[in-house]
Chains A and B, each alone.
Chain A
Amino acid sequence: MNHLLRSHAPISDSGWELLDSEARERLTSALAARKLIDFSGPHGWEYSATNLGRTSPLGKAPSRGVSALKRRVLPLVELRASFELSRSELRDADRGADDMDVGALDKAAHEIAVAENVAVFHGWDGAITGIGEASPHEAVKLGDSTEGYPGQVAGAVEQLLCSGITGPYGLALGREQYRTVVETAEHGGYPLLDHLHKILEGPIVWAPGVKGAVVLSLRGGDFVFESGQDLSIGYDSHDGEVVRLYLEESFSFHVATPEAAVVLKP
């Protein structure tokens, strides 16, 4: 048994299977950053820092005649989203009920996915520098009308090319922008989504938590997500009525090539 303490939970194997499957489905649809950036790991719960290959000066060495440096590392962060499930509902699921109320799990899955997206794309004060924060390019303003979207996305791609950043390129769209793009057909009935695909030559992903949109290169090596413990369901406690669980992960993120992304602000 590891730190997740799953075997302490009053949940049957089939119950765990149901919860894992539900969580995986919810998370996979919302984890936008993982669809666009490099993923390394998982390296395990004990893994605590990413090597940056950098050093900081130290005032003085422990004794005369030697110099000293301190290694700089990027500490992993932990995200946790807690939730409660009814033990009565779990018992019904064991009896074969196919409509178990897993709303609390769905909500927690969405929240932790949003947190991961926000940390990667916009940053996390004191913990992670996001893609948008690192980008040296001036953010492109998305207009109110979708008519301008192809020109704005093409402009972002051209900015990347000017910086020597090759494609293919991907596009992370915030919820509102995604809905707008999907529902829009341009003059002549051509879907805006297909037009943007042709410009990017890469995926367009639904990215809850993202404000506006981000265009970034998918060539690899520019944005690195390092996973310690990948997303997991762990056990906290229970009583006669409910079992308290949580979704948890540890990770670091760093931008190796700040020029490889352009922000489109709402």
Chain B
Amino acid sequence: MGFDQYHEPPEELPADIRTFARLCASLTEEAEALGWYEQRIAVETDPQALAIMRDAQGEEFKHFSMDLEFLLRRTPPWRAVAHGILFQEGDIVERGEQAEAEAFDEGGSGAQGSYEDGSLAIGSLKGAPR
């Protein structure tokens, strides 16, 4: 079993960062699985096999979404940007630029606060300078 999700020595990382890294790795794996099923479904001709793979891909949709939601809840700046992009109409790139600006620049610390909940988004300070 490898520990490739860690970019730094795991023993130097606080528990919450290790959890964050595990969920990031899981998110990546779910996205890969989604891509693989999409390709398999595209070439499969057996109806029963297709049904099974579509069912399996549905599970990966769920897993990917749960991983993402966990990470967004833990990461207010990411959540703020995602809030402006996900489930929105219009050009995705434009939405992305706008969401980034709203979260960090224009009014990023304005009347609504730095982040979605209006807080200072200090959170955990493990690993911060003394």
- Chain B residues 63 to 120 lying within 8 A of chain A, measured CB to CB, are 76, 106-114, 117-120
Which residues from A are CB-within-8-Å of B48?
none
Please tell me which one of the listed residues B11, B110, B123, B126 contacts residue A36 in the complex, with CB atoms under 8 A apart: B126
- B118 A6 Cβ-Cβ under 8 A: yes
Is B42 part of the binding interface, using a Cβ–Cβ cutoff of 8 Å? no
* Binary CB contact string for chain A from 1 to 34 against chain B (1 if under 8 A, 0 otherwise): 1101011010101001100110110011001001
- A227 B120 Cβ-Cβ under 8 A: no
Which residues from B are CB-within-8-Å of A45?
117
Which residues from A are CB-within-8-Å of B118?
2, 4, 6, 232, 234
Complex Cα spacing A42 to B120, Å: 11
Is A38 part of the binding interface, using a Cβ–Cβ cutoff of 8 Å? yes
Is B130 part of the binding interface, using a Cβ–Cβ cutoff of 8 Å? yes
- B119 A42 Cβ-Cβ under 8 A: yes
- B130 A35 Cβ-Cβ under 8 A: yes
- A17 B120 Cβ-Cβ under 8 A: no
Which residues from B are CB-within-8-Å of A34?
122-126, 128
Instruction: Give the interface size bracket for B toward A.
Output: 20 to 34
Which residues from A are CB-within-8-Å of B56?
none
Q: How many A-B residue pairs have CB under 8 A?
A: 102
- A219 B122 Cβ-Cβ under 8 A: no
Which residues from B are CB-within-8-Å of A36?
126
- Chain B residues 7 to 46 lying within 8 A of chain A, measured CB to CB, are 11, 14-16, 18
Instruction: Give the interface size bracket for A toward B.
Output: 35 or more
Q: How far is the CB of B72 from chain A (nearest CB, A)?
A: 12
> What are 26 pairs between A and B in contact, CB < 8 Å?
A2-B117, A6-B112, A6-B118, A7-B111, A7-B112, A13-B111, A16-B109, A20-B114, A20-B120, A21-B109, A23-B120, A24-B120, A24-B122, A28-B122, A34-B122, A38-B124, A39-B16, A39-B123, A44-B117, A218-B14, A219-B15, A220-B16, A229-B117, A229-B119, A232-B120, A233-B120
Known: A13-B107, A17-B109, A24-B120. 7 other contacts (CB 8 A): A2-B118, A7-B111, A13-B109, A20-B113, A35-B125, A39-B123, A168-B11
Point out residues on A near B: beta carbons under 8 Å: 1-2, 4, 6-7, 9, 11, 13, 16-17, 20-21, 23-24, 27-28, 31, 34-36, 38-39, 41-42, 44-45, 168, 203-206, 218-221, 227, 229-234
